[in-house]
Structure 1
């Protein structure tokens, strides 16, 4: 690791930025137990040696400070590939465990902090003062630093290994998925292949959708308990589980599920929180229906998609209850921050006042004010196509944070605009998988290899290999290229060849 010195990289420059410092560290014999996340299966990384390079820079006139972090495996372990690693939530970049996984797979890998450290909450940088958005760090988070990290990361790899990366890839989920789509839309020449799953794209609509159940609860003054809503979810799975030909605890075809939760009102269930039996109320049935229906304006116009049937309610539709049984809404943090800091620009704003009427106005502001900055909704991928890029996306149908139809909507528009989009853009649905993973369904942890095969060998994926991550028995399935869906044919329900796409 003798080449891991700051002087090796100090001649690197990038138009529009001014370097503040270059630092390097040799990390030897690293070990990480990496969970199944960011589009890959769990892995126990041991004996990893990397050179870490951190480039700290500013955009002159912006008064910001951004860090691009690059991990470089030993030259004999590098496979000639570069990887950009995405973030999650309001965090722009990846954790060290993600970088370790990538380096252990032979990638030179880069990420960015976007100008604000992961431990620095968005509340610290969102506003210059109440009523005044801090636009520069938002722009850095949305797009600018992602492009810069790709350019700098590849330059660092070239300086270290003495040759340019042969191929460049992006890998990310949620915010990382949005970032991947942003790269394809705005910086189409940076990556040969992009794996962008459960994407937080169509940002203005997506974030508001996460708060829709809270708005309808405030409007109707109905706040069912979390246990009730979970009982409704389980009843829905029982009702619609078999639509794909097998009852296995997974709803594969949520769009065909016509379950009416009102039919379960009065049904008894056991609540593990209270350790008591109780019954499903009409309030729970009503909120479940509205959550599935999706955001609706005060004029009864459809605004955005709801969660799929079978997804947990306990993120978007969570409540909190006092000892006397009185319950109130518990808005998801992402939605809460978006409304208070970016829409009302008032950290003291009372979220309990967000009823359907207020929600409708905020929804319009959310899209109108921010779509050009962070919306990530551009369906014109012409330049990505011309650059030879390939993009794979997948979305778990049991996603409890981002409605899967957010991705379906985007894919439909891409294919309507270009019927030949399958040459460079492919979408797969993952039944039973929650946000970026989890749930009882099939998680496609080998998606990055499918992307590599598409880019480097020209083998376009028609199926995406996936496995369950829970339960004593691992089940396999090959996810279907949208718009086809998995259907059980016959045989072992744990085997991929027992299912077909139709």
Structure 2
């Protein structure tokens, strides 16, 4: 067992009785966790422990399932050899299960971290929202309450079970979990020391309801015909190849990665059939649709930016094919989120993930009408419902002063090749944080990763250890201007021996020196574009 003399509670250091209800013993300076049973987990107000069972993988631990209030359930993993630290893992999509981004992305339990995840107050597929229909309690639990209550409950259990409060508290989430990360930074500023918000789903009303409905109308104008998008697989391949042909080498390397897609000024109209001499062309309707996806969209008095160029190639596992175009195939599911477990719940037919999320959100949150469709929808009434739901669902407040005042550090990131949550939207939130208070850069960093898709994956190196980066920042007080980005095995998240590159804190951009090895970090530097 590890030694944690600095972690012992005052009562333990004094040789007194342990905290009430604790089931641990102390041998010298070594803390030994208590009995893994329902009786061994402390009793807390409005919390019911449903089960507590020993587990062996990836390291010996106690798996606790509990319920807070009426139906918010959580899964807390308590390692037998605790490192004195706690990390909460965010969920994906509409949640409904115990997906834990910290466990999926890093082997945190084997490293000694206690970790928790929550279903956010309901059970179901994470691309279905029927549970929210006319149920304000569930909507509020999903929006922000479940994450806060789960975090503080877990920290109380830890303090009793191990006899010491956790000495470091992190939140690690991507996608919906990235939005949850921003929620706790804004709404629960005293709960976590360090927070990682990857590809944050932070604006459910503007991006996922408004922007994605706009995109669904473009790609599938008839909501009952979802098998073939306006931009089909062939057109998608033509579009992606043409963009790469013109822009891939702008950064000095022809490698399937655009280090900064903002440099790419490709004109989609040059692919219009009839205007082009090539047979590799797009119909006028397809050109209009592509330009609409790339451009800012206006709807119901709101605006949201488009998708960066570079995520079109059909080989991109989490690019346009999964999120924007696609097409419904009978019996085929959509693996839209890294690490998500296969759903045991029934899912409706959907052509792509954006389409699925926006139609579920509009039916069950916005209009409380399971029969709602976007056919003929002109966003009348959108602004009213967005204003009503925004305070519950959105995490767009740029004021992080309370979190920062407690010494909190926040890392935000997005992949440039993400076909889901546009990097432009993430950049916009970060820049609003800086506009609100320019000193926030002392405690907040944004990394936009070239060649990385949704959360991870893609042709770029995606192995940055953000948990280690947060710890180093908290330990030293030195904010990271660049981080290592090794190539990793997608299953184990361990370096695969193929080298890597770096990633840069915004507004700096990864810049190739023009001579070095393409997979050697020393060949790259961080430069602010002119």
**TM class by shorter-chain length?**
0.7 to 0.9
User: For residue 338 of structure 1, what is the aligned residue in structure 2?
Assistant: 361
TM-score by length of 1: 0.83
Shift of the 231–92 alpha-carbon distance from structure 1 to 2, 3 Å rule, reads same
Q: Distance in 1 between matches of 2:434 and 2:524?
A: 26
Shift of the 302–342 alpha-carbon distance from structure 1 to 2, 3 Å rule, reads closer
2:390 maps to 1:390: no
User: For residue 240 of structure 1, what is the aligned residue in structure 2?
Assistant: 247
2:512 maps to 1:488: yes
RMSD: 2.8
**Greater fraction strand:** 1
2:39 partner SS: helix
Give the number of equivalent residue pairs.
451
Residue pairs, 1:45-56, within 5 angstroms: 45=58, 48-56=59-67
Shift of the 218–112 alpha-carbon distance from structure 1 to 2, 3 Å rule, reads closer
Q: Distance in 2 between matches of 1:430 and 1:496?
A: 14
Q: Distance in 1 between matches of 2:487 and 2:384?
A: 40
Residue pairs, 1:78-117, within 5 angstroms: 78-91=82-95, 94-95=98-99, 99=103, 101-117=107-123
Residue pairs, 1:89-488, within 5 angstroms: 89-91=93-95, 94-95=98-99, 99=103, 101-119=107-125, 122-127=128-133, 133-207=134-208, 208-217=210-219, 223-266=230-273, 279-297=281-299, 303-312=303-312, 313-318=320-325, 320=327, 332-354=355-377, 358=378, 360-361=379-380, 363-365=382-384, 367-469=386-488, 474-488=498-512
1:78-109 deviation line (CA, Å, top 9, x unaligned):
21110111000001664379548321121011
8 Å Cα contact 1:24/1:51 also seen in 2:
yes
Shift of the 268–9 alpha-carbon distance from structure 1 to 2, 3 Å rule, reads farther
Q: Distance in 1 between matches of 2:68 and 2:450?
A: 43
Note the residue ranges of structure 1 that are not aligned, 5 or more in a row: 31-44, 59-63, 128-132, 270-276, 323-327
8 Å Cα contact 1:367/1:375 also seen in 2:
no
Q: Distance in 2 between matches of 1:453 and 1:116?
A: 36
User: For residue 26 of structure 1, what is the aligned residue in structure 2?
Assistant: 54
TM-score by length of 2: 0.79
Shift of the 102–92 alpha-carbon distance from structure 1 to 2, 3 Å rule, reads farther
8 Å Cα contact 1:85/1:93 also seen in 2:
no
Shift of the 268–187 alpha-carbon distance from structure 1 to 2, 3 Å rule, reads farther
Shift of the 370–381 alpha-carbon distance from structure 1 to 2, 3 Å rule, reads same
Q: Distance in 2 between matches of 1:364 and 1:73?
A: 47
Note the residue ranges of structure 2 that are not aligned, 5 or more in a row: 1-32, 224-228, 313-319, 330-349, 491-495
